[in-house]
Amino acid sequence: MRVNFTVNGRKQEADDVWEGESLLYVLRERMGLPGSKNACEQGECGSCTVRLDGVPVCSCLVAAGQVEGREVVTVEGLADYAKHREDAHPGGGCASGACGTSIDAAQRWQAKPVDGQTGEAGALSPIQQAFIDAGAVQCGFCTPGLLVAADELLERNASPSDQDIREALSGNLCRCTGYEKILDAVRLAAARQEEAV
Amino acid sequence: MDFLRPASWEEALAAKAEHPTAVPIAGGTDVMVEINFDHRRPEYLLDLNRIELLRAWEVGEETVRLGASVSYTQIMENLRAELPGLALASHTVASPQIRNRGGVGGNLGTASPAGDAHPALLAAGAEVEVESVRGSRLIPIDAFYTGVKRNAMAPDELIKTVHIKKADGPQQYSKVGTRNAMVIAVCAFGLALHPETRTVRTGIGSAAPTPVRAKAAEEFLNAALDEGGFWESGRIITPSIAKQFAELASASCNPIDDVRGTAKYRRHAVGIMARRTLGWTWEQYRGTGRSLEGAA
Ligand SMILES: Cc1cc2nc3c(=O)[nH]c(=O)nc-3n(C[C@H](O)[C@H](O)[C@H](O)COP(=O)(O)OP(=O)(O)OC[C@H]3O[C@@H](n4cnc5c(N)ncnc54)[C@H](O)[C@@H]3O)c2cc1C
Ligand code: FES
Ligand code: FES
């Protein structure tokens, strides 16, 4: 079957989708967006987290056919999504097709942290920069899902308590970091966000 | 496999009548796991996501009419005062991502003895409104669970709404698991005080082939509270009454040994949870009380 939906703000079409296929499979295998990770395919690990109409979900548990006509934001579009939120919708988010990341740009997306020499900012969202600065990335497999979940938390709650952070990230497993640095990263992003206001 | 995407409730009922083997998919948090692991290859998937009325709820005089697809997150955020037991139970389900998708309709569809909505529904008192092209009917929650992962629905029926009694007193939900998130209950206990009828209702999860009420425990407690004039006086419930209530709750279990826990442990834990939830709710009732919100 054919499925039409919006990915990172741009309309996309996927063909020959098997009826039992997950959104995660469509993103990774049909759209060339491997940012969302496949680790468990049963909702346990959160590494496949994306936003569906703004709401964080495990894309491995959404049937592809269920996203027809809907809006999906993946980690590849997170930097643009965050930028646009800052420019156009301070304090909120936008899942509309008016703004967004082209599929080519999303496919080519790479993490480019702030250049230590020139201080020039790369194409990173504040939460991504904070993960790098806090040392919250080890193997990186859990990172995309955590970024999407953490970014959504900070969108809805500008100064989360530790309890809020733990709760918001309770559906994301990390085998490497022991979580402390991840909590640091979210605190850092929250503090920077407050400074900026 | 075919993917059916009805745009309205009527279309969904027609599709289910035409293809009774079609598997409805709401949040997909049970269905997709089975498909991803090749445990299920239904001929038809019947997507319910486009049906608005399944995502709506209505707070009436006596009951809340909860659409089958209202997510756990929505219940926690919007119905804490009306349905404190279910809101607390919802908060224990999995993780934010799962709670954003899953809901009570899917929990009832799966009818797992470990489903967290069930003890809360049993304790509050509820009826499940199911419908087919033949018409609609209300199934009392006590009659809904018919066996391990079996329910009282006919193949052509869909769950439309769940009519849940609005809380008229404190409610609590307690769940045993290895951590605070992402755990299927080892066992669970829901308890609701109903001061208007001067009754206490309960629900037990994961300690019998189906979710069950601790009926003998309820009957004993209702009589004891009545005889002692506890509802009027708001006195502390005596330890001997609480103890017997707990023992009877424990005795109404029919658990098994499995990977999550032994039958013996489950029986023991249910007794403890029965005593604790009774204590918590009774304190709320006695206190400024009548505060209907559950403590998280
Ligand atoms: C990682 C993970 C953790 C989980 N943890 C918990 C937990 O802690 N507690 C818990 O209770 N559950 C848990 N679950 C199970 C699941 O999330 C719940 O059972 C949830 O309520 C299912 O809702 P859903 O909308 O996703 O159902 P779906 O998967 O869409 O459907 C479930 C079943 O119900 C049927 N169905 C759905 N809607 C209807 C309808 N309107 N009419 C008729 N049939 C219908 C479907 O055909 C299917 O058989 C967990 C699942 C995962 C993946
Ligand atoms: S791959 Fe989706 S939750 Fe693990
Ligand atoms: S960094 Fe390796 S799983 Fe989290």
Residue-level pLDDT at A196: 82
For the cut 90, the answer to whether the pLDDT of residue B10 exceeds it is yes
What's the DSSP call for residue B151?
E
pLDDT tens string B84-138: 999 999 999 999 999 999 999 999 999 999 999 999 999 999 999 999 999 999 9
Q: ipTM more than 0.90? A: yes
- β-bridge pairing B2-4 and B23-25: unpaired
Contacts with A133 (C-beta within 8 Å, 6 or more apart), sequence order:
A185, A188
Task: Tell me whether residues A63 and B180 touch, CB distance under 8 A.
Answer: no
pLDDT digits (tens, 9 = 90+) for B33-68: 999 999 999 999 999 999 999 999 999 999 999 999
Reported as a pLDDT band with limits 50, 70 and 90, residue A7 is very high
Any ligand 2 atom below 6 A from CB of A173: no
What is the predicted pLDDT for the residue at A117? 56
With a 6 A CB cut-off, is A60 part of the ligand 2 pocket?
yes
Q: From atom 27 of ligand 1, which residue's Cα is the shortest distance away?
A: B106
Through-space distance between the first and last CA atoms of chain A, rounded to whole angstroms: 46
Structural domain boundaries in chain B: 171-286
Say what the pLDDT of residue B290 is. 47
b/e sequence B2-15, b meaning 16+ C-beta within 10 Å: ebbbbeebeebbeb
- Judged against a pLDDT cut of 90, whether residue B74 lies above it is answered with yes
Task: Compare all CA atoms of chain B with the CA of A51 and give the residue at the minimum distance.
Answer: B97
Is the pLDDT at A164 greater than 60? The verdict is yes
Alpha carbon distance B288, B132 (integer Å): 46
**Model confidence at A98: pLDDT above 70:** no
Cβ(A31)–Cβ(A103) below 8 Å: yes
Q: What is the dihedral of CA A136, A142, A148, A153, to 10 degrees?
A: -60
- Which whole number is the average pLDDT over A27-41? 97
Question: What is the pLDDT at residue B33?
Answer: 98
Looking at the DSSP bridge assignments, the partners of residue B24 are B46
pLDDT of residue B291: 46
pLDDT at A105: 79
> What domains sit in chain A, N to C, each tagged with a CATH number?
3-73 (3.10.20.30), 75-196 (1.10.150.120)
Q: Is the pLDDT of residue A74 over 60?
A: yes
What is the interface size between A and B, counted as CB pairs within 8 Å? Answer: 88
Q: What rounded mean pLDDT belongs to chain B?
A: 96
Determine whether the shortest distance from the Cβ of A135 to ligand 3 is under 6 A.
Answer: no
Q: Note the pTM of the prediction, 2 decimals.
A: 0.94
Residues 6+ apart with CB under 8 A from A182: A131, A134, A136, A146, A150, A169, A174
* Segment B245-290, tens digit of pLDDT: 999 999 999 999 999 999 999 999 999 999 999 999 999 999 865 4
What mean pLDDT is predicted for residues A77-106?
A: 76
Give me chain A's average pLDDT, please. 91
- pLDDT score of A114 more than 90: no
Q: What is the pLDDT of residue B287?
A: 87
Indicate whether residue A110 lines ligand 1 (CB < 6 A).
no
Give the range among A181-195, B11-25, B205-219, B275-289 with minimum mean pLDDT: B275-289
Q: B159-168 b/e with 16+ CB inside 10 Å = b?
A: bbbbbbbbbb
CA distance A162 to chain B (A): 15
Please choose, from the candidates B184, B161, B155, B132, the residue with its C-alpha nearest in 3D space to the C-alpha of residue B42: B155
Task: For residue B184, list chain A residues with Cβ-Cβ distance below 8 A.
Answer: none
Predicted pLDDT at B43: 97
Q: What are B149-200's pLDDT values in tens digits?
A: 999 999 999 999 999 999 999 999 999 999 889 999 999 999 999 999 999 9
Residue A97 is predicted with a pLDDT of: 43
Tens digits of residue pLDDT in B123-151: 999 999 999 999 999 999 999 999 999 99
Residue pair A61/A39 in contact (Cβ under 8 Å)? The answer is no
In this structure, the number of other CB atoms found within 10 A of the CB of residue A196 comes to 9
Nearest atom, ligand 1, residue B71 CA: 25
What are the structure tokens assigned to B134, written together? 């033949």
pLDDT digits (tens, 9 = 90+) for A115-141: 555 555 568 999 999 999 999 999 999
Question: Which of A29, A13, A12 is CA-nearest to residue A21?
Answer: A29
**CATH superfamily to which B171-286 belongs:** CO dehydrogenase flavoprotein, C-terminal domain (3.30.390.50)
Residue type, B52: E
Among A17-21, A88-92, B57-61, which stretch is predicted with the lowest mean pLDDT? A88-92
Identify the weakest region by mean pLDDT among A83-92, A160-169, B85-94, B164-173: A83-92
User: Least CB-CB distance to B2: which of A19, A55, A68?
Assistant: A19
* A152: region left, alpha or beta (phi > 0 left; psi from -120 to 50 alpha): alpha
Which pLDDT band, with edges at 50, 70 and 90, does A90 fall under? Answer: low
Closest-CA distance, A60 to chain B, in angstroms, reads 8
| Burial (CB count <10 Å: 0-12, 13-18, 19+), residue B249 | buried
Distance CA B211, CA B231 (A): 28
The distance between the two most distant Cα atoms of chain B, rounded to a whole number of Å, is 62
pLDDT at A145 over 80: yes
According to the model, what pLDDT value does residue A93 have?
A: 62
Q: What is the mean pLDDT of residues A37-48?
A: 97
> What type of residue is A6?
T
